Amino acid sequence: MATPDDRRYTEQHEWVLVQGSDGDATVVRMGITDHAQDALGDIVFVQLPEVGEAVTVGNPVGEVESTKSVSDVYSPVAGVVSARNEALEATPELVNSDPYGDGWLIEVSVTGNGGDPTAGLLDAAAYQAFADGS
């Protein structure tokens, strides 16, 4: 699967996509990359934070459990969880089949960032080079 150019990435294999704004906040959707889901194998459970929970950059916001292991998911932005992908409760395998679409994890409302909340994250080419070990 190609690495989409419309989002930003972390070295922990999360992606973020700006969804728009909600008043004074910028809303970003996040998930794990195709590389991450492939390394994890068949995903059987996803633990997500509750709506309204504050998240900070670099801190865990949930877990993805596969038949191989359990991995933390880290927040690439700071803000408040504004939505969670409730479909993953019944069908966690969506993270495997569509990590950049229906397999998204949470949306975060970011306020007071003074600009682009994805600034400093990797673009698609830089992430792909990182993931490929270049």
pLDDT (tens, 9 = 90+) of the chain, 134 residues, equals 689 999 999 999 999 999 988 777 899 999 999 999 999 999 999 999 999 999 999 999 999 999 989 999 999 999 999 999 999 999 999 999 999 999 999 999 998 756 688 888 999 999 999 999 85
List the domain boundaries for the chain.
8-111
The overall longest dimension of the chain from CA atoms, in Å, is: 42
> C-alpha distances in angstroms, 19 versus 11, 59, 123?
21, 22, 17
pTM of the complete model:
0.93
Of 80, 83, 77, the residue nearest 118 (C-alpha): 77
- Class of domain 8-111 (CATH, top level): mainly beta
